[in-house]
Structure formats: C-alpha cells, structure tokens
Amino acid sequence: MSAFLKSRYFSLEFIMGLGLTLGITFCVLFSSWLFPGAGEIDLTARLIAPFQQPAHPFGTDPLGRDVMARVFAGGWISLQVGFVSVVGSVLIGVAVGLVAGYYRGIWDVVVMRSADIQLALPFILLAITIIAIVGGSLTNTILLLIVSQWVQYARLVRAQVLALREREFVLAAQAMGVKSRNIILQHLLPNLLGPVIVLMTLNVANNILLESSLTFLGLGVDPTIPSWGGMLADGRTYLQTAWWVSVFPGLAILLTVLGLNLLGDWLRDSLDPTGRTER
C-alpha cells in the first residue's frame, strides 16, 4: 500500500476521481436512509430558497419537495442506466470483437460496417425515432444505449486481437494444439481487458450524459420517477423564479460524470499507456 502511495500512479486525479465517484454513489445508494420521508410533496413548503432552512439545504421545488433528497434519489436512475448499459455493451461487443478478430470472415465485415453506420447515425437522432415507436422507459433507454454502443467495444477488441494473434504466446498455444476457444478465453481475453476497462469507465460517464439528455427532452425515463434529466426539464419552467431547481441536479450530473472521467483518465494512464482508447 505504501508503495502505491509513492508510485507515479498515485495522483490528485485518482483521489478526486475516486472520492467523487464513491461519495456520490454512496449518497445515491443510501438516499432513502439518509433522507427518510424527504422528497414528498409538501405544499406548505413550496419554493424555499436554498441555504435558508436547515431542513432544506438545497431548497424546495414548486411542489415543496426537498431538492437535495430528490437529487440523491434521482441519481439512482442515472447510475443504473450508466452501469447496466455499459455491461450489456461490453458483453456483446467483446464477444463479437473476439470472434471477428480471431476468425475474421463475416463477423469482421459486420463489425467494421456497423462501426461506419454507428459513426454516421448520431445517437440522439436514432433515439428520437426509436423512442417515438417504443416509448420512453428505463429498459428502452438502456437497450437503445446498448444497441448504439456495443460496436465501440467490438472494434476496440477486434483491433487488439488482430495485433495479439501474431504474438509468440498465441502462436505457441496454437502450435501446441490448444483449442481456439481456449486460446480466445485464456490467452487473448486477459490481455485486452485493460483498454476495455478504460473505455467502460469513460462510457459509463458518457451514457449518464446521454440518458439525462434523453430524459430532459422527454424521451427517456418516465417523468414521474425522480431523475436528473427529468428534474432539469421541470426546472426550466421555473428558471426565472427558482434557479436552484435547475442548478443542483445539473451539478450532480457534472460531478458524477467528472468523477468517472477523472478515474477513466487515470486508468488510461495506468493501464493503457500507449493511448489506444484516446478520444
């Protein structure tokens, strides 16, 4: 441990990233315990300004709900979407990328052409169309993110495998008659996890941004569930009179995403020094 504290990997970036991410995750996960009964409608306490009453440090919204309690409760949606969508994309993308890189053939073509299409079809535009058909919901938002993002992983893994399969340890395993399946799972997979983990961290951050944009536009999660994007959409109506309703949920998104980006950046420096996942 003390060796880690002295190493070049230990940096301000790491402390800030880890602190923000863990702190926010903790507050969000335990929000119902930290703020019992808060966030309920209380028409006697409408639009209290922040820092006025100790019971409502971030003030209250037009329905008298405590903004701080709602910000922490609303984070649950973002964290869920960010995490689940990335895990889904990784499972599909890594599997397809491994097969495409190792066996080439049709999967290789699928990956490369899908990547072209993904690049040409901005997520928000695709989302507008698809959500218009299937309607906005938590599950649909997650599925949509997976559909539009697995390709990134497939492409990254494919490129890695193409380089790795020419290396001696893979050639040796092949010469010894190790089954292809075992080569892929035991020799290739562990060697390409670094860049995948870096991309995952940055992607959770990015997906939280995309989810909140969709919900803000009324295309994402059900507006009755507290979520950061949804709170910001509501807050716009009261921007002139109650700035705090719009400021705090956005600040929560900013800090969460910043924490993850800092961690991702630090991970990239540590795990992927050649910058294969540079964006």
Q: Which residues bind another protein (CB under 8 A)?
A: 12-13, 113, 116-117, 119-126, 128-130, 132-133, 205, 209, 212-213, 216-217, 232, 235-236, 239-240, 243, 246-247, 250, 253-255, 257-258, 261-262, 265, 275, 278-279
Residue closer to another protein, measured from CB, 126 or 189: 126
| Contact present, 98 and 259 (Cβ < 8 Å) | no
Least separation in angstroms between residue 136's CB and another protein is 11
What is d(CA 224, CA 34) in angstroms, rounded to the nearest whole number?
Answer: 21
Of 156, 163, 126, 181, the residue nearest 275 (C-alpha):
156
Residue closer to another protein, measured from CB, 102 or 216: 216
Backbone angles phi, psi at 60, to 5 degrees: -125, 160
Backbone angles phi, psi at 56, to 5 degrees: -130, 75
Least separation in angstroms between residue 166's CB and another protein is 17
Residue closer to another protein, measured from CB, 170 or 262: 262
Q: Six-digit token pair at 69?
A: 């309690």
Residue closer to another protein, measured from CB, 45 or 76: 76
Least separation in angstroms between residue 17's CB and another protein is 9
Of 160, 170, 228, the residue nearest 199 (C-alpha):
160
What is d(CA 230, CA 220) in angstroms, rounded to the nearest whole number?
Answer: 9
What is d(CA 122, CA 126) in angstroms, rounded to the nearest whole number?
Answer: 6
Residue 244, judged by CB atoms within 10 A of its CB (0-12, 13-18, 19+), counts as: buried
Least separation in angstroms between residue 163's CB and another protein is 14
Least separation in angstroms between residue 45's CB and another protein is 23
Residue closer to another protein, measured from CB, 124 or 185: 124
